[in-house]
Amino acid sequence: LRKNVEDFTGPRERSDLGFITFDITADILNEKSYSKAFGNKNVLIIFDWNVKQLFLYLSAEYSTKNNALNQVVLWDKIMLRGDNPRLFLKDMKSKYFFFDDGNGLKGNRNITLTLSWNVVPNAGILPLVTGSGHVSVPFPDTYETTKSY
């Protein structure tokens, strides 16, 4: 997983808004036999006969003065059984606004971006799995006044 922070924020309604651009490279493998193969691997979950789809989401986790734990889903994707299990997404913008509850993004050095997914079976248990790669991203100390987003 590789992510880059491009812009930073503008306080709106007195809350910080963050902008992140990211690349996602993930290999979600189809057969158990390949589960250890690759270089960049993130994930090793299998599409077997009981997996209807995977609901993938990229979430940002961080701490602020206001709140000990914050998690915001920035982007999601539904991957149906039969879809290409490899993701090579570049320069993605977050699908959802990354608002903090307060002003905790400014100068926050440690925002962790993680790719996770919800396995939706044809019938049975609904597990949530976290990918093995994650990246820490810092936000700058100042606000951007002009945004080209």
Partner 1 sequence: GCGPSRGPAMDLFGDLRRMNKRQLYYQVLNFAMIVSSALMIWKGLIVITGSESPIVVVLSGSMEPAFHRGDLLFLTNFHDDPIRAGEIVVFKVEGRDIPIVHRVIKIHEKENGNIKFLTKGDNNEVDDRGLYKEGQNWLEKKDVVGRARGFLPYVGMVTIIMNDYPKFKYALLAVMGAYVLLKRES
Q: Which residues bind partner 1 (CB under 8 A)?
A: 52-53, 55, 57, 59, 61, 66-73, 76, 78, 80, 96, 101, 116-118, 120-126, 128
What is the closest distance, in whole angstroms, from the C-beta atom of residue 47 to partner 1 in the complex? 15
Q: How big is the CA angle at 14 (ends 10 and 18), to the nearest 5 degrees? A: 35
Nearest-approach distance from CB 103 to partner 1, in angstroms: 13
Nearer to partner 1, 76 or 144 (CB): 76
Nearer Cβ to partner 1 (112/148): 112
Q: Please report how close the Cβ of residue 25 comes to partner 1 at its closest, in angstroms.
A: 20
Give me the count of residues in the chain.
Answer: 149
CA distance 21 to 4: 6
For residue 50, give both structure tokens: 């009981």
Q: Between the CA of residue 15 and those of 10, 27, 62, what are the distances in Å? A: 8, 36, 15
Shortest Å, Cβ 36 to partner 1: 26
- The SS3 of residue 34 is helix
Nearer to partner 1, 70 or 108 (CB): 70
The answer to whether the CB of 8 falls within 8 A of the CB of 22 is no
Question: Which residue's CB is nearer to partner 1, number 52 or number 109?
Answer: 52
Q: What is the CA radius of gyration of the chain?
A: 17
